[in-house]
Amino acid sequence: MGSELAAPLAGAGPLVDVHAHFLHRACGRADWEVRNQARFRAGTRIGISVHVASMLGTFGFTSPTYFPSPPDVTLGNTEMLALQEREPARVRSYVTVNPNYATHALEEMARCAERGAVGLKLAASRRADDPLLDPIAAEAGRRGWPILHHIWQHRTREWPAQEISDGADLGRLARRHPEVTFILAHIGGGGDYRHTFAAVEDIANIYLDLSGSGVDRGMLDDAIRAVSVERLLWGSDITMETGLAKLRALAAAGVTPEGIAHIRWRNAARVFPPGALPGPRGALAADTAMAVEPR
């Protein structure tokens, strides 16, 4: 019997990863399937109930990761939805779009909605506050989808291969679309998260996801002070060990089981459309068994 069947490392109770990625066969990586299986294996070990994931075109193989061509956008979304269909109990899909191709973006949203997508993923193809994003954001709002937006924590200059946005940029978009929920990606993904917290703390329709390789001490405490546990979402992105470490750090920092449950899944259950996630809404009582370390 494999130890994957042992008690989840993150404790019992629902756990929604709002920021995951899977690969597909056209990504130019021979190990694409191994990496996907590694995510599932680690997800089971951690105790992830559902991976809400995206595929960013071909991740740079035939067009750039953050500037995917329309054909690659379509391919990535198709592969993502196919994975969701194969793994209905533990995978949900964001639709990825490139806002520079506005008509294609709206068509993709409609096509993928038909197949069960639950949210929109915007990477770094266009600055977050650009008017090109407005019809896309409005359409996401009409569908009740959250928008997960790739964010650089405090943009002080341009970086290659991305048109980066920061919390202030996303804040301007979010203020124009108060009916839409935005997920500000990976506060541990590099840059100055304290700038982000200051930029979005008073924008109620922006949630923060905790993912990213960054595990700075103080980051979680500052995030809670800025937006409270009710606007934080758990995610792993491409470093699942840092995700597990952050969950444990929340408990060690004295966040109550109730607060941790908000971060683990309750906020996600509120952010995604009703019935979009395969479990948390029906498992309201299950999280109370989660182990909490003493401070």
Partner 1 sequence: MTTDVNTFIGGFPFRHVPHPEADSLARVLEREGIAAAWVGHLPSAYYRDPNAGNDALFTTLAPHRGVLHPVPALRPDWPHWEQTLRELLEREAIAIRAYPPQWGMDPHASPMMELASACGTLNVPLLLTVRFEDLRQRHWMDAASDLSGAAIRAIVRADDRVRVVVTCAGRALIEEVHWGLTRQEQSRLWWDISWIWGPPEEELAHLFGTIGAQRFVFGSAWPLRLVQTPRANLELLPHDLRDAQLADVATLRDVIAQH
**Measured from the CB atom, is 74 or 211 closer to partner 1?**
211
Listed residue (248, 86, 56) closest to 149, CA to CA: 56
Residues that bind partner 1 (CB under 8 A): 2-4, 9, 35-36, 38-39, 41-42, 45-46, 152-153, 156, 189-192, 194, 213-218, 221, 238-242, 244-246, 248-249, 252, 293-294
HEC profile for 115-178? CCCCEEEECCCCCCCCHHHHHHHHHHHHHCCCEEECCCECCCCCCCCCCCCCHHHHHHHHHHCC
Q: How far is the CB of 136 from partner 1 (least distance, A)?
A: 27
d(CA 228, CA 207) in angstroms, rounded, equals: 10
The residue among 121 and 177 lying less far from partner 1, judged by its C-beta, is 121
Residue 183, both tokens: 């997920």
> Which residues neighbour 105 within 8 Å (Cβ) at sequence distance 6 or greater?
73, 97, 98, 99, 136
Q: How far is the CB of 42 from partner 1 (least distance, A)?
A: 4
Nearer to partner 1, 39 or 231 (CB): 39
Rounded least distance, CB 6 to partner 1, Å? 10
Provide, rounded to whole angstroms, the least separation between the CB of residue 208 and partner 1. Answer: 16
Question: What's the distance, Cα to Cα, between the start and end of the chain in Å?
Answer: 34
Pick 44 or 62: Cβ nearer partner 1: 44
* Helix, strand or coil, per DSSP, at residue 225: helix
> Smallest gap, in angstroms, from Cβ of residue 167 to partner 1?
14
Nearer to partner 1 by Cβ, of 107 and 222: the residue is 222
